[in-house]
Amino acid sequence: MTGTLKILKLLSDPTRLRILRLVGQEGLTVAELQQILGMGQSRTSAHLAQLKAEGLVADRRAGKNIYYTRGGAVPSAIAELIESGGEELPEAAQDDAAVKLVLRQRQDKAGEYFNQLAGKFGRTYVPGRSWRALSHGLLRLLPPMVIADLGAGEGTLSQLLARTAKKVIAVDNAPAMVEFGSKLATEHGLKNLEYRLGEIDDPPIKAGAVDLALFSQALHHAASPGKALAAAHKILKPGGRLMVLDLLSHSFEQARTLYAHVWLGFSEVELVRLIEKAGFKDVEVSVVSREAKAPHFQTVLATARK
């Protein structure tokens, strides 16, 4: 009876119930569970230890990784309770989508290979070959679109995009940035570049007016990232594209004071959830760079379609 009561007590915690439901679908590592749950390593491991002590989860080593699965000796009545209770959790659908993302990341060997290739580019000196030159070349291949650069700052990226874009609308909430960027646009004859003062969660742009909504290292400054993404969805034309470049979740707390960051980056799972909740489809997320110097910020790229 004591064991049964203890198991029922364990199942009363929503996080442990989520874990049992997740590892019942697929063997997952602690790191993968952290990513899905949005929880630190110590808390995740503590929950797993409690569940393992009662035989509700089992672990197996494969190379350097330890995978957790549902315990093989879990009574059928308890298994049914886990499934029925798990389906009632508000995070159930999000967890299912997150598991698919994690599995896709495991299998994405090509993406890992291309990240390695990108790291090699420019390592060996070749006259004239640089990321700067390559980016200028690729930017000129863009079709003539209407682009919203949300949280543009002084608008360096906006000015580069304006070389080929039909129109670029750079939005920032700092009057000094808008004034400075507008002055530069005038000086360089960029008549298709317009700076507007406004918030990224309520940009001064008509609904259905742009082909591409861009957040370049801006979403972590938003008071409500979800609201900002919903606003981007609103201003996009049907079939329009979203692109987010931001920091992968990190623990460098000084970023709040040094760089006025509101959020310490976003995990890949978290970004997918936010973007899909805003109404987007065909969401793709991947880590595209890692800084060599501490605190080793990593950049995550997300794209989606309205």
Taking only the tens place, the pLDDT of each residue in 256-275 is: 999 999 999 999 889 999 99
- Average pLDDT value for residue range 5-10: 81
| Cα(191)–Cα(197) distance, integer angstroms | 17
Q: Parse the chain into domains and list their residue ranges.
A: 2-107, 142-305
**Helix residue ranges per DSSP H, 121-224:** 131-139, 156-161, 175-187
- Other Cβ atoms less than 10 A from the Cβ of 152: the count is 29
Say what the pLDDT of residue 2 is: 44
Domain 2-107: which topology?
Answer: Arc Repressor Mutant, subunit A (1.10.10)
> What pLDDT digit, counting tens, does each position of 23-77 carry?
988 899 999 999 899 888 999 999 999 999 888 899 998 888 899 998 876 777 7
Question: Which DSSP symbol is given to 221?
Answer: G
- Which residues, at least 6 apart from 159, have a Cβ–Cβ distance to it below 8 Å? 181, 184, 185, 188, 190, 193
CA atoms within 13 A on the CB side of 13: 14
Question: Using only C-alpha atoms, what is the Rg of the chain?
Answer: 23
Q: Which CATH code fits 142-305?
A: 3.40.50.150
Q: Is 64 exposed, middle or buried (0-12, 13-18, 19+ CB in 10 A)?
A: exposed
**266-303 per-position pLDDT tens digit:** 998 899 999 999 999 999 998 888 888 999 999 999 99
The H-assigned helical ranges of the chain are: 2-11, 14-25, 30-37, 41-53, 76-88, 92-107, 109-120, 131-139, 156-161, 175-187, 225-235, 255-258, 268-277
Q: What pLDDT, on the 0 to 100 scale, is given for residue 193?
A: 96
Return the percentage of the chain with pLDDT > 70, whole number: 93
Q: Are 20 and 7 spatial neighbours (Cβ–Cβ below 8 Å)?
A: no
Q: Which of 79, 78, 57, 82 minimizes the C-alpha distance to 68?
A: 57
Residue 177 confidence (pLDDT) above 80: yes
Confidence at residue 104, expressed as pLDDT on a 0 to 100 scale: 78
Kindly tell me the sign of the dihedral angle through the C-alpha atoms of 71, 72, 73, 74: positive
Count the helix, strand and coil residues of the chain and give each as a percent rounded to the nearest 5: 45, 25, 30
Encode pLDDT of 181-200 as tens digits. 999 999 999 999 999 999 99
Tell me the C-alpha distance between 176 and 154, whole Å: 8
> Could you report the per-residue pLDDT of 209-237, keeping only the tens digit for each?
999 999 999 999 999 999 999 999 999 99
8-23 pLDDT, tens digit each: 888 889 999 899 889 9
